[in-house]
Chain A
Amino acid sequence: GESVGLHLPTLSVQEGDNSIINCAYSNSASDYFIWYKQESGKGPQFIIDIRSNMDKRQGQRVTVLLNKTVKHLSLQIAATQPGDSAVYFCAERPSGGSYIPTFGRGTSLIVHP
């Protein structure tokens, strides 16, 4: 079956650095790709999404890049802060039918002060 996966389970960075979290997907029919952040003891929190007809989308300190040629998605966090420490999930949403997103396993981002 098709799935969403992540390249690295853990990413450690220094405060102030830029972070890049990667995600591979295999369902070329997905119409949206979504990033969530989950802090310890909390539920996932929506960060940003990108539609499949876009290559790049920017939010506040975050940028999502979509490379459909290699089916790769990345989340870039600028000037990473200790409060960014969390598990980050990518999810893909099918273009029709259920619209239920499939989540990847997650990458743990650790920001060292």
Chain B
Amino acid sequence: KAGVTQTPRYLIKTRGQQVTLSCSPISGHRSVSWYQQTPGQGLQFLFEYFSETQRNKGNFPGRFSGRQFSNSRSEMNVSTLELGDSALYLCASSRTTRGTEAFFGQGTRLTVV
């Protein structure tokens, strides 16, 4: 079956702009989580959605937001981009919110200049 698909793979944005990233989970998976990965901070949890509802949120400023659609596809948005937002953004899907086995996409590499 198809894996987790994230689009786009690469993005270059200017400070102050906003960006929207997309994630299509594995068919049948209703839980989608987003992570930011940087060399300095590692993998940091952004938020989790299940059945169109945000279930959990990490310690990120309000500039980071997300949503989930009825088909479980998810988007995350970052407004007023800062240089420090440059990172690999990863999406992970799982059947439920309690499963330990999450399936990650390849990520979107965001570069803010």
Q: Is the CB of A34 within 8 A of B56?
A: no
- In the bound complex, how far is the Cα of B14 from the Cα of A53, in angstroms? 49
Q: Is the interface of A mostly helix, strand, loop or mixed?
A: loop
**Is B43 part of the binding interface, using a Cβ–Cβ cutoff of 8 Å?**
yes
How extensive is the interface on chain B, given as a class?
20 to 34
**Given the contacts A99-B97, A99-B98, A43 and B43 also touching, CB distance less than 8 Å:** no
**Which single residue of chain B is at the shortest CB-CB distance from A45?**
B104
**Which single residue of chain B is at the shortest CB-CB distance from A91?**
B43
How extensive is the interface on chain A, given as a class?
20 to 34
- In the bound complex, how far is the Cα of B44 from the Cα of A61, in angstroms? 29
Q: Is the CB of A44 within 8 A of B43?
A: yes
9 additional A-B residue pairs with CB within 8 Å, beyond A34-B100, A46-B101: A41-B106, A44-B104, A89-B42, A100-B58, A101-B45, A103-B42, A103-B43, A104-B42, A106-B42
Residues of chain B having any CB pair with chain A under 8 Å:
4, 33, 42-43, 45, 48, 55-56, 58, 90, 92, 97-98, 100-107
